[in-house]
């Protein structure tokens, strides 16, 4: 091609010099190693040949020379002259060590038997309360032989069982979706043992074994490398960072943290590029992944905020009910003059046990569970899968989110972001060159970027296979989540996002940096065509010594057979030292001499890229003539082609960019008063750069603790900073005062953190009273996920371990979905509060019906079965409809609730339910009760005449058996007439109470906003009220059912009284809300009455 004919060299004219000089040198990986510390720092101790005491906890081999290791592990028979011919330990010694150290497996966490997990549901404080009520009802039946109490006990026991079974069933299905640690580990490995290489199960590995690692293998244990030929490993499963780590067989410097030793490969890591032989240091639970697994299993799952609130609620109900029951029982004994044991027992049952049972909202647990399940279904529509439904509300109470960086805040996809060549900065590149084969700067950049690159294109067939695999995995996820009651919603969400996310398949495969560079260059220059034009004749891959990669190529269209080109890329400072010219568009022959001014520009650009967290590569090349095409290097790494006096092309900046919608999500979090902290294993500069881009760090005015020993002990002046960047090495040296100062900032970036550091960060935040959510996708995140108030794992690319430890899975791996979850959690807290306010309002009228009989000597206002049909029937529909209630205005504009002050059941809510709404409804019920008896010419005063003694419960009750005469009128009522009149009065009370509640439901749909402003969009409330009315009519007017419930046909009185009661409640609520909206901040009346 013509482009080659235009190639010029450094020499005069167009003549390329023949290269004969052979300088020495070698090369290394240009990528920054981004890993984290997992254990303490280690200092080598004196070597010892006593292998009976191999220290797996603090190995010293990484800091020892090969000769020292061979001496220390004499039984491994390491051949210093040729490591590949090492004999390894013999089978007899291996058997001894297997008994001494145990199998190379992770101890599985103890599994709770299914029957224990089911019985654990009964520990729910609400269910405990209902069980107590069931037992009390059974005791009442045994004492007074009232069959109604037996029915009540049976119904409550069934309700408790069904609620417990539902929770057990859903919890079991959710936990089956995730997997365990063992799925990440290798199953077989190649071992040098008994003088030969053999394949064996990893369980049989012991300390001292020699392991052979190759491309595609998983490291079967923690090993120190004795021989390394360009091996790189990916520690994403351990660190959460997908950047490859280039390993070496050189000893690590003393005091280096074990997890930062480049000559150690860790259990579970994936190998690619090159090969290595290593000595097993640690096996089983003592490996790095075993340490994390143990830390995770030892971390107890915390109670959710809703569980704490329910406990508080049950305590309140218990105190109120016991106090009320005790007072009523004592007063009834004195007022009714009970002296005999039978009389006292009867009053104990009717005055103590009945009032305790009446005070308990039996239907509330089922209602709350339904609300949470519906909220989980709503969250599933946003690709948020809830494993523990009580964590829905916890997410809404979150005040701090500790988020992983890679894959959560970023795309986990390395991308070229900036270029610097021909002395100019290029952010948005476009194709400018006319030929890709000349010496123009852009042509050189594309040529080196494509040819000096080990990434390979994925064939169309392979892409199709990957597409099928992705579709299969998606179907598997859908199949898994479909076992949940809200799984259909997740399925819809996954399928709706499939075209945007799941269907994307990579076009190239290889080292992430190589893939990013090739993908970028391929947009402007067809890589396959260029590689066909320039076959590779010689290659020096990356290694960890020289920090560069080299290719020698020759164009098949070159006019002269001896015309070649050397291409190189690597660490910028190393590449620049080998160059004497740089590619310049305006210079003669497109090359200009490197000057001090150019070096200053280079350094400034390089530092600017590095400060922004970019990974920077430099590119260079040189055309040369050679009489031979057999290029090689000798044992001293001397090459028979040029590797100096090269032509510098430019700098390429690469990074894992933030997700597109993360900055907006971070802003929403800040607007809602939720802090976002980044907790990453990446480099502090990278973490800081990403944090600034997404708005986590608002300014450059931040506390920066980047080196160990720089923390000091003072916090003077720290209050003036806007955020903080903290290196993991500094965490252990922070004082309590410094922790408080750092965690008080709105944005913090913790970098180079270990699993223990992440756990401590979460605990410190919780100790300050914060509700903490933790996001993560790696094994290293699992302890913090379990410690968090709500753990959130990535559902697409997250490790099985992280998914197992989490409470919530993001099925789209999208941080923005968390914001939707927070909003849904806040809505559900408000709606549960509204549900309790609504449900508790019927308790006082129910209790009053019993109190009338006990203290006033009047017939009871309700039958026991009517009370049960209210709690478990008519109330459920309207109460559950509140789960679909839309939020009041600006729910995401307020700060997270204070878990110590803004309680689910507050004194103001109890006052509203019991005193305000409860009393208004009670007055209406008493009026209808009086009017019904008045229709039969019976006044309340008539019950105090000697001839109308109802204290024994034999008159005007369902068990009336004797006729009675009203002294005032002389009218006699038979037992049957008494039962009918009692049932009519009880039914009137029942209808007035339930229908008043149906009116009340519209009032509690808002706490501050006017119901007329809020609107009537929730159609489910109409349906709930409609179903409730049908049930009221069914229980009140259907023959046969009337006998079971104790009801009777009643006229218009309660049907008129109930709507009028609703109007009174509506008027009170609208006036109160009007005042709450306009009251000054800190108003005592608002604090007392606003619930």
Catalytic residue list: 404
Q: Which residue from 625, 422, 439 is spatially nearest to 2, judged by alpha carbons?
A: 439
Spatial separation of the C-alpha atoms in residues 535 and 935, rounded to whole Å: 107
Nearest to 364 by CA among 856, 1018, 835, 902: 835
Three-state SS at 210: strand
CB 513 within 8 A of CB 656: no
Nearest-angstrom CA–CA distance, 989 and 848? 11
CB of 88 closer than 8 Å to CB of 273: no
Helices (H), 90-202: 91-101, 114-120, 125-144, 147-175
| Beta bridge partner(s), residue 268 | none
3-state secondary structure 300-367: CCCCCHHHHHHHHHHHHHHHHHHHHHHHHHHHHHHHCCCCCHHHHHHHHHHHHHHHHHHHCCCCHHHH
Among 285, 186, 289, which Cα is nearest to 235's? 289
The phi and psi torsions of 855 (rounded to 5 degrees) equal -100, -30
* Residue-wise burial string across 419-445, b where 16 or more C-beta atoms lie within 10 A, e elsewhere: bbbbbeeeeeeeeebeebbbbbbbbbb
The torsion defined by the Cα of 36, 37, 38 and 41, in degrees rounded to 10, comes to 160
Using the Cα atoms of residue 638, residue 641, residue 643 and residue 644 in order, give the sign of their dihedral: positive
- Of 1002, 987, 998, the C-alpha closest to 1052 is 987
User: Under a CB-based contact definition with an 8 Å cutoff, are residues 831 and 839 in contact?
Assistant: no
CB 506 within 8 A of CB 458: yes
Using DSSP bridges, classify how beta strands 400-403 and 772-776 pair: parallel, antiparallel or unpaired.
Answer: parallel
Question: Residue 655 in 3-state DSSP?
Answer: strand
Q: Are strands 210-214 and 456-457 parallel, antiparallel or unpaired?
A: unpaired
3 state DSSP class of 73: coil
β-pairing, 508-509 vs 456-457, is antiparallel
Token digits of residue 809: 């899975």
Tokens of 524: 């402007």
Closest by alpha carbon to 487, among 776, 161, 169?
Answer: 169
* Dist CA 641 CA 630 (whole Å): 10
Taking CA atoms, 325 is separated from 354, 360, 851, in Å, by 8, 12, 9
Distances (CA, A) of 287 to 109, 146, 743: 16, 66, 32
């Amino acid at each position: 091609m013509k482009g080659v004919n235009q190639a010029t060299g450094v020499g005069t004219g167009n003549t390329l010099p023949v290269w004969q000089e052979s300088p020495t040198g070698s090369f290394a990986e240009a990528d920054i190693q981004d890993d984290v510390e997992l254990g303490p720092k280690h200092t080598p101790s004196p070597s010892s040949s006593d292998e009976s005491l191999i220290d797996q906890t603090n190995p010293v081999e990484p800091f020892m020379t090969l000769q020292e290791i061979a001496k220390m592990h004499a039984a491994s028979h390491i051949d210093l002259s040729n490591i590949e011919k090492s004999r390894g330990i013999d089978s007899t010694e291996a058997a001894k060590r297997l008994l001494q150290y145990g199998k190379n497996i992770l101890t599985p966490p103890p599994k709770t038997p299914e029957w224990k997990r089911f019985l654990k549901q009964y520990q729910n404080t609400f269910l405990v309360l209902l069980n107590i009520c069931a037992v009390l009802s059974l005791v009442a039946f045994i004492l007074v032989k009232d069959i109604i109490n037996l029915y009540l006990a049976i119904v409550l026991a069934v309700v408790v069982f069904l609620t417990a079974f539902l929770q057990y069933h859903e919890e079991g299905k959710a936990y089956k979706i995730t997997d365990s640690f063992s799925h990440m580990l290798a199953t077989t490995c190649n071992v040098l043992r008994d003088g030969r290489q053999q394949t064996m199960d990893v369980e049989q590995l012991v300390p001292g074994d020699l392991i052979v690692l190759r491309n595609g293998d998983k490291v079967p244990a923690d090993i120190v490398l004795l021989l390394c030929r360009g091996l790189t490993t990916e520690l994403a499963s351990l660190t959460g960072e997908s950047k490859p780590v280039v390993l070496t067989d050189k000893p690590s410097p003393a005091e280096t943290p074990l997890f930062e030793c480049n000559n150690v490969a860790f259990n579970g890591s994936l190998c690619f590029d090159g090969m290595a032989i290593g000595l097993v240091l640690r096996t089983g639970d003592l490996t790095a992944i075993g340490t994390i697994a143990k830390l995770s299993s030892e971390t107890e799952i915390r109670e959710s905020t809703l569980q704490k609130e329910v406990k508080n609620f049950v305590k309140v109900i218990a105190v109120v009910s016991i106090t009320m029951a005790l007072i009523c029982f004592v007063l009834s004994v004195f007022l009714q003059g009970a002296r005999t044991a039978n009389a006292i027992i009867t009053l104990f049952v009717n005055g103590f046990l009945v009032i305790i049972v009446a005070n308990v909202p039996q239907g509330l647990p089922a209602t709350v569970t339904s609300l949470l399940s519906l909220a989980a279904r709503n969250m599933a529509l946003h690709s948020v899968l809830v494993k523990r439904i009580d964590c829905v509300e916890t997410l809404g109470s979150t005040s701090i989110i500790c988020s992983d960086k890679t894959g959560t805040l970023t795309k986990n996809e390395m991308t070229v972001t900036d270029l610097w060549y021909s002395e100019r900065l290029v952010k948005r590149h476009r194709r400018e060159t006319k030929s890709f084969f000349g010496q123009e700067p852009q042509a050189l950049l594309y040529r080196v970027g494509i040819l000096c690159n080990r990434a390979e294109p994925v064939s169309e067939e392979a892409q199709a296979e990957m597409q099928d695999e992705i579709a299969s995995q998606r179907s598997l996820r859908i199949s898994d989540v479909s076992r949940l009651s809200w799984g259909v919603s997740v399925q819809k969400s996954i399928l709706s996002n499939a075209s945007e996310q799941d269907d994307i398949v990579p076009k190239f495969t290889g080292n992430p940096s190589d893939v990013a560079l090739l993908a970028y260059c391929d947009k402007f220059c067809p890589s396959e065509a260029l590689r066909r034009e320039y076959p590779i004749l010689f290659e020096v891959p990356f290694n960890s010594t020289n920090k560069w990669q080299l290719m020698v190529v020759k164009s098949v269209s070159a006019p002269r057979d001896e015309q070649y080109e050397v291409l190189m890329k690597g660490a910028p400072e190393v590449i620049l030292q080998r160059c004497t010219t740089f590619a310049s568009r305006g210079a003669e022959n497109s090359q200009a001499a490197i000057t001090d001014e150019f070096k200053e520009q280079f350094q400034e650009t390089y530092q600017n890229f590095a400060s922004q967290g970019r990974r920077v590569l430099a590119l260079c090349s040189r055309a040369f003539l050679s009489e031979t095409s057999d290029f090689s290097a000798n044992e001293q790494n001397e090459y028979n082609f040029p590797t100096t006096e090269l032509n510098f092309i430019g700098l390429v900046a690469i990074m894992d960019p933030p997700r597109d919608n993360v900055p907006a999500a971070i802003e929403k979090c800040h607007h809602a008063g939720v802090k976002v902290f980044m907790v990453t294993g990446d480099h502090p500069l990278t973490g800081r750069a990403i944090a600034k881009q997404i708005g986590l760090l608002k300014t450059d005015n931040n506390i920066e603790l980047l080196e160990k020993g720089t923390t000091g002990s003072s916090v003077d002046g720290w209050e003036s900073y806007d955020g903080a960047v903290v290196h993991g090495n500094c965490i252990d040296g922070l004082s309590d005062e410094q922790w408080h100062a750092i965690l008080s900032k709105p944005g913090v970036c913790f970098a180079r953190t270990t699993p223990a550091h992440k756990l401590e960060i979460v605990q410190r935040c919780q100790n300050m009273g914060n509700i903490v959510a933790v996001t993560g996708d790696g094994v290293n995140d699992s302890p913090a996920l379990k410690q968090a108030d709500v753990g959130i794992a990535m559902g697409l690319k997250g490790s099985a371990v992280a998914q197992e430890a989490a409470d919530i899975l993001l099925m789209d791996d999208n941080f923005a979905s968390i914001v939707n979850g927070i909003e849904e959690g806040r809505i559900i807290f408000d709606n549960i509060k509204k549900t309790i306010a609504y449900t508790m309002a019927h308790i006082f009228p129910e209790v009053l019906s019993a109190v009338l009989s006990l203290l006033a000597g009047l017939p009871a206002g309700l039958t026991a079965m009517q009370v049960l049909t209210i709690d478990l029937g008519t109330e459920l529909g309207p109460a559950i409809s509140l789960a679909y209630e839309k939020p009041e205005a600006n729910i995401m504009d307020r700060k997270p609730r204070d878990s110590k002050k803004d309680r689910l059941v507050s004194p103001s809510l109890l006052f509203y339910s019991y005193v305000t709404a409860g009393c208004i409804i009670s007055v209406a019920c008493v009026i209808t009760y009086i009017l019904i008896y008045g229709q039969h010419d019976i006044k309340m005063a008539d019950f105090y005449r000697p001839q109308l003694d109802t204290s024994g419960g034999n008159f005007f009750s369902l068990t009336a058996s004797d006729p009675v005469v009203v002294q005032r009128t002389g009218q006699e009522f038979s037992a049957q007439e008494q039962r009918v009149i009692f049932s009519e009065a009880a039914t009137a009370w029942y209808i007035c109470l339930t229908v008043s509640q149906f009116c009340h439901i519209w009032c509690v749909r808002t706490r501050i906003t006017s119901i007329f402003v809020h609107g009537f969009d929730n159609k489910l409330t109409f349906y709930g009220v409609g179903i409730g009315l049908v049930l009221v009519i069914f229980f009140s007017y259907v023959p046969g059912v009337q006998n079971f419930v104790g009801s009777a046909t009643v006229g218009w009185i309660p049907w008129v009284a109930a709507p009028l009661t609703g109007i009174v409640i509506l008027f009170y609520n609208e006036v109160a809300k009007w005042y709450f909206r306009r009251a000054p901040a800190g108003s005592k009346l608002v604090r007392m009455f606003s619930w």
